[in-house]
Amino acid sequence: MGVYGHPPADLAAVPDGAVQLSPLAPGAAALEDLAPGALDGLTVLAPPGTLERRHTLALALRALKPGSPLTVLAPKDRGGSRLARELSGFGCRLDETAKRHHRIVRTVRPEAPAGLDEAIAEGAQQFLADLGLWSQPGIFSWNRVDPGTALLIAQLPALAGRGADLGCGLGVLARAVLASEKVTGLTLVDNDRRAVAAARRNVEDPRVAVTWADARAADAVPERLDFVVMNPPFHDGGAEDRALGQAFIRRAAAALRPGGTLWLTANTHLPYEATLAEVFREVVPRAAAQGYKIHEARK
């Protein structure tokens, strides 16, 4: 049995010992690596993006044995209302219910699902010629440079020494950092396995190490760094969670040497100033534009 994500326990029962398959769970198995027919059952908390969701559903059906049960659920306003139509398109017969603003679809893997290869290909890792980067639907800002990241890149000085990029995504910010020959090492950390895989292709540099981990974990980031750069997340499961960014700030402070510097970009409305002042001795606003702000903080 397998599980993709962390479905609410009151909406979908997950057997003990189910194998975690989400790319957002560091250390989990990869759904795309499972052999066809490897699973006897699967529960999926479906992602919100259309390409990512169809990719996941197609991989799920490919991984299941014919006749094996599949339960898929999602919030109604985050793809749940489309689940029945999408699974029907793959040839599934459905039982759909609604509970707590979620749509829950139960089905079994048909003998010969339709359209799996196309959906898998559309949501797979791909090279985006206009960006010159490898990416994949589901990664943060997967097909464009995030404006907050672009603003930070425009403000960055030439950094030096050892550093880290927490929540590295595709590696856009890391590529800008590595333009400085004075950078001797850069650790990229992200909790999304797909982002890590893309960053490894986008940032091919002997000074770089890329890690699939939760950047908040104590062992995810080297110590006594000269600098940290980041565009920290502030959503968890679709809901805004300001504590995420605050935890990233504290993790950065812990990883820096005395005198080390954090360069941070964030949405203007996020209240990070108090946390910055708590763990850094000097905090300087460097820019604000298009709904984003840049801070430089020195430990």
Instruction: Per residue of the chain (299 residues), give pLDDT as tens.
Output: 999 999 999 999 999 999 999 999 999 999 999 999 999 999 999 999 999 999 999 999 999 999 999 999 999 999 999 999 999 999 999 999 999 999 999 999 999 999 999 999 999 999 999 999 999 999 999 999 999 999 999 999 999 999 999 999 999 999 999 999 999 999 999 999 999 999 999 999 999 999 999 999 989 999 999 999 999 988 777 677 889 999 999 999 999 999 999 999 999 999 999 999 999 999 999 999 999 999 999 99
pLDDT for residue 127: 98
Separation CA 259–CA 293 (nearest Å): 22
Q: Are residues 197 and 230 in the same domain?
A: yes
Which CATH number does the domain housing residue 152 bear? 3.40.50.150
Q: Are residues 66 and 199 in the same domain?
A: no
* 44 sits in which H/E element: strand 42-45
Q: Are residues 137 and 279 in the same domain?
A: yes
Q: Are residues 208 and 253 in the same domain?
A: yes
Of 106, 122, 138, the position where a domain reaches its end is 122
The domain of 52 spans 2-122
Q: What is the DSSP letter of 80?
A: G
pLDDT for residue 242: 86
Tokens standing for residue 277 = 């002042």
118's CB contacts (< 8 A; 6+ apart) are none
pLDDT for residue 270: 93
Tokens standing for residue 19 = 């194998």
Separation CA 89–CA 158 (nearest Å): 51
Strand 2-4 and strand 42-45: the pairing is parallel
Strand 42-45 and strand 94-99: the pairing is unpaired
Runs of H (alpha helix) within the chain: 50-63, 83-89, 116-122, 147-155, 172-177, 193-202, 242-255, 273-279
Q: Are residues 94 and 152 in the same domain?
A: no
pLDDT for residue 63: 98
Question: How many CB atoms are located within 10 Å of the residue 285 CB?
Answer: 11
pLDDT for residue 196: 98
pLDDT for residue 57: 98
Of 122, 155, 181, the position where a domain reaches its end is 122
How far is CA 288 from each of CA 111, 150, 291, rounded to the nearest angstrom?
56, 12, 7
Q: Are residues 143 and 250 in the same domain?
A: yes
Residue (of 79, 93, 11) closest to 3 by Cα position:
11
Q: Are residues 218 and 261 in the same domain?
A: yes
Q: Are residues 84 and 56 in the same domain?
A: yes
Total count of domains within the chain = 2
Q: Are residues 8 and 132 in the same domain?
A: no
Q: Are residues 118 and 135 in the same domain?
A: no
Q: Are residues 282 and 152 in the same domain?
A: yes
Q: Are residues 245 and 283 in the same domain?
A: yes
Of 98, 122, 146, the position where a domain reaches its end is 122
